Structure 1
Amino acid sequence: MLKYQVLKYQVLKYQVLKYQVLKYQVLKYQVLKYQVLKYQVLKYQVPKYLST
């Protein structure tokens, strides 16, 4: 019975770990999205700046 409890706990720990990895992936993706946005703004700014 105790062994089963420990197993359950390890599975839970693993689930939490998986969730944290997922959270980190989402964060990385948002940072990437922000970089792309920044780049697009920059792309737009540079020609504007050069034309004046």
Structure 2
Amino acid sequence: LSATRQWFLGLHTASLPQNLTQAQRDAFGAHTYRRIDDPHGPAIHTDWLS
């Protein structure tokens, strides 16, 4: 029942756990991301490991 609820909530959520995957890609490579509050702004790279 809990898994069904989480699946349903995932269908209607604007910010999904994919953000974690994107943060991991950025931490271990030269990947960048864009801020949710400024989607047309510059691509950002954060040095997460320092």
Q: TM-score, normalised by structure 2?
A: 0.32
| Structure number with larger C-alpha Rg | 1
Structure holding more helix per residue: 1
**Which is bigger in relative contact order (C-alpha 8 A, separation at least 6)?**
2
Q: TM-score, normalised by structure 1?
A: 0.31
